[in-house]
A = this chain, B = another copy of it.
Amino acid sequence: MRNSTKQYSKDNLFFLPLGGAGEIGMNLNLYGTQGKWLMVDLGVTFTQELGLEVLMPDPQFIVENRRDLVGLVLTHAHEDHIGAVGHLWNKLRCPIYATPFTAALVRAKLQEAGVLKEATVHEIPLSGAFELGPFALSYVTLTHSIPEPNALIIKTKAGTIVHTGDWKIDTDPLIGKATDTEALTRLGDEGVLALVCDSTNVFEKGHTGSEADVRKHLIPLVAKQKGRVVIACFASNVARLATAFEAAKETGRRVALVGRSLHRMVDAARACGYIKANDLVKENEIKNIPPEELLLICTGSQGEPRAALARIAARQHPGVHLEEGDTVIFSSRRIPGNEPQIKVVQEALLMRGVNLITDKDAHIHVSGHPSRGDLKDMYTWVRPQILVPVHGELTHMREQARWGKKCGIPQSIVPQNGQIIALCTDNLGIVDEVPFGRIALDGMELVPSRGPMIRDRAKLSSGGVISVSVRLTKGRLKDAIQLVCVGVVEKEQEAALRQEILDEITGLLHLATKEKLENETALKDLLSSCVRRTVNAFKGKKPVVITHVFYG
């Protein structure tokens, strides 16, 4: 691996995604010019595989070039854009820049990681401008599904980049201002080299739509319900929360927040003046409020097994009990892949006689990402020379490249994680590839997501483990073989399996040469393959085997 990136000709401008290109989640974008790098966003992707909780991009390349990193600038506060800041800051130790709402949530992450005191978070006002080395930066307010979504404008000697972050066009976002189309148009007039743009919804026709439309449908829907009403939605969609508050007000209900991330979001939104949220019912007081006077806002719309809604559905939530006549409104979409766990929650609720209302039944959710119509408007305002689709799978990014071409953008390039791309109209292309990968949070530790530890866990999870200890004196078993099986067979089978293994090992030790018995490594191999073979004959699969040998 190269030790410096000074090799790239001084005034060129480079783009290097280490996460978020070819996937929706864990964004990490780097821009390089004049030997300096700027990082934009640093997110995670959630997982439930093999005891892991979150995945994030491996920042190895930029860690090794840390002296050239001028800072980390955040576009908005979604987990796939800021979720890794707490986990990775120690490796980067660079200043952080964000608008107030994002800064509040990032500070909480740094606090949790125990690095808040060392880290510097610069709070930049909305539409604010600042300079970092060769990068002249400014935020332009967009609309999305969280307060303070910003495009980042990056001006360099080589040209201007509009890095959109996540966005859609919402003419009435309820929280914050509408898209700053004037600023975008002005940038277009001045000339934009490249637009680096969200691809998530490129297959959707027309325009995505507004939070105000959702409000129009959600409030009358709440008004129709008789028992408890639960609105399950993404905690970060503060406009949706405000709509729920409004619905409560209009229907004579009081609001309770159920789920930790909701409290975190509401605190940040309150601190930044986006909502008031007075008179909230505390979780331990929920049971005292008559059903028809209660509106619960709840995390877990994706069926996450540990979130509030799953626990309520399974009757494992201490404070909330739903029953026949209550209603759960899923004001959210199903993220592909989450269907099975969402179903588990929904079926459990249905079993209890709870009414379900989802986005199939009423217009109670709208996406935060740009459809083709929104994209076309953005292209028209910004008029870039080059389109760089990001924030999408390869299918989405390629489709946006096609759409951009159709809409008249002269050039485009679909990046892949780890590719250094020269953003240069007369020589647009990949100039180098650097290592990239994923690291995972395991407990408090960062580990490679596909390393030997994880491969070992996959083996354990598939066949269980057997641990065998023997003590040999003068080539003979001194005492009983000790053998423990975990996750190999059901209890009723265990005695029979144990006996077969013990018989096989005893026979093996009886026949083995003195040489083999006295060579610890050889003996362990012998024991191990004997156990694996015996279990395989017994049940058609092989466990992990651990062996201990004592001599004398």
Binding site for B on A (CB under 8 A): 22, 50-51, 203, 336-337, 339-340, 343, 346-347, 350-351, 356, 360, 393-395, 398, 416, 442-445, 447-448, 451-454, 456-465, 467, 469, 471, 479, 482, 484, 486-491, 493, 536, 539-541, 544, 546, 548-550, 552
A490 touches B448 (CB 8 A): yes
Q: B467 touching A467 by the CB < 8 A rule? A: yes
The docked-state distance in angstroms from the alpha carbon of A488 to that of B546 is 14
Q: A337-B339, A456-B487, A460-B465 are in contact. Are A550 and B471 (CB under 8 A)?
A: yes
Partner among B22, B445, B479, B546 whose Cβ is within 8 Å of the Cβ of A540: B445
Main SS at interface, chain A: mixed
Whether A457 contacts B461 in the complex (CB less than 8 A), given A544-B486, A550-B482, comes out as yes
Tell me whether B456 and A458 are in contact (CB under 8 A): no
Contacts of A398 on B, CB cut-off 8 Å?
350
> What are 22 pairs between A and B in contact, CB < 8 Å?
A50-B462, A336-B340, A346-B395, A350-B395, A351-B394, A356-B395, A443-B536, A443-B540, A445-B540, A453-B464, A453-B487, A453-B488, A457-B464, A460-B486, A467-B467, A467-B548, A471-B471, A479-B552, A482-B548, A482-B549, A484-B546, A486-B546
Contact B461 A458 (CB under 8 A): yes
Q: Using A337-B340, A350-B395 as known contacts, list a sample of 19 further A-B pairs with CB atoms less than 8 Å apart, ordered by residue number in A.
A: A51-B461, A336-B340, A337-B339, A347-B394, A347-B395, A443-B536, A444-B539, A445-B540, A447-B489, A453-B464, A456-B486, A460-B465, A465-B465, A467-B467, A469-B469, A471-B471, A486-B544, A546-B546, A550-B550
Contacts of A482 in B (CB 8 A): 469, 548-550
Given A51-B461, A337-B340, A460-B461, CB of A546 within 8 Å of CB of B467: yes
* Residues of B contacting A454 in the complex (Cβ-Cβ under 8 angstroms): 487
Q: Residue of B at shortest CB range from A351?
A: B394
Contact residue among B22, B346, B350, B471 (Cβ-Cβ distance under 8 Å from A347): B22
Chain B residues near A489: list those with CB within 8 A.
445, 447, 453
Nearest 10 pairs between A and B by C-beta? A461-B461, A51-B462, A443-B540, A444-B540, A443-B541, A456-B487, A336-B339, A460-B460, A457-B487, A469-B548
Q: Which listed residue, B456, B479, B540, touches A464 by the CB 8 Å rule?
A: B456
Distance in angstroms between the alpha carbons of A448 and B447 in the assembled complex: 33
Which residues of B sit under 8 angstroms from A544, Cβ to Cβ?
Answer: 465, 486
Bound state CA distance, A464 and B356, in angstroms?
39
Closest chain-B Cβ to A527's Cβ sits at a distance in Å of 13
- Please measure, in the bound complex, the distance between the C-alpha atom of A482 and the C-alpha atom of B546, giving whole angstroms: 11
- Closest chain B residue to A550, Cβ basis: B471
A347 to chain B: closest residue by CB: B394
A552 CB contacts on chain B under 8 angstroms: 479
Kindly provide the distance from the CB of A495 to the nearest chain B CB, expressed in whole angstroms: 14
Closest chain-B Cβ to A460's Cβ sits at a distance in Å of 4
Taking CB atoms, residues of chain B closer than 8 Å to A460 are 457, 460-461, 464-465, 486-487
Contact B393 A479 (CB under 8 A): no
Q: Which residues of B have CB within 8 Å of A350?
A: 394-395, 398
Q: A461 touching B540 by the CB < 8 A rule?
A: no
Q: How near does chain B come to A415, taking the closest CB pair, in angstroms?
A: 13
CB contacts (< 8 Å) of A356 on chain B: these are 395
Bound complex: CA A269 to CA B418 (Å) = 49
Report A548 CB to chain B, min CB distance, Å.
4
Complex-state Cα separation, A347 to B23, whole angstroms:
10
Residues of B within 8 A of A487 (CB): 453-454, 456-457, 459-460
Closest residue of chain B to A397 (Cβ to Cβ) is: B350
Rounded to whole Å, the gap between the CB of A142 and the closest CB of chain B is 27
CA–CA, A460 and B458, complex, Å: 9
User: Hey, which chain B residues are within 8 Å of A471, CB to CB?
Assistant: 471, 550
Report chain B residues within 8 Å CB of A347.
Answer: 22, 393-395
| Chain B neighbourhood of A463, CB < 8 A | 51
Q: Which residue of B lies closest to A460 (CB)?
A: B460
What is the CB-to-nearest-CB distance from A539 to chain B, in angstroms, rounded to a whole number?
A: 4
Chain B residue with Cβ nearest A49: B461
* A339 to B, closest residue via Cβ: B336
Given contacts A445-B493, A490-B452, A546-B484, contact A461 B336 (CB under 8 A): no
For A483, the closest partner residue in chain B by CB is B548
Neighbouring B residues of A395 by C-beta, 8 Å: 346-347, 350, 356
Beta-carbon contact of A539 and B452 below 8 Å:
no
B203, B448, B550: the one contacting A469 at CB < 8 Å is B550
Interface contact B546-A453, CB-CB below 8 Å: no
Q: In this complex, what residue of B is CB-closest to A541?
A: B443
Known: A443-B540, A456-B464. A203 touches B548 (CB 8 A): no
Q: Distance (Å) between the CB of A552 and the closest chain B CB?
A: 8
Partner of A539, one of B445, B490, B541, B548: B445
Q: CA of A552 to CA of B550 in the docked complex: distance in angstroms?
A: 12
Residues of chain B with a CB closer than 8 A to A22's CB: 347
Verify B360–A490 contact, CB threshold 8 A.
no
Looking at the assembled complex, report how far the CB atom of A207 sits from the nearest CB atom of chain B, in whole angstroms: 20
Closest to A482 in B: B548
Q: A447's contact among B457, B462, B490, by CB below 8 Å, is which?
A: B490
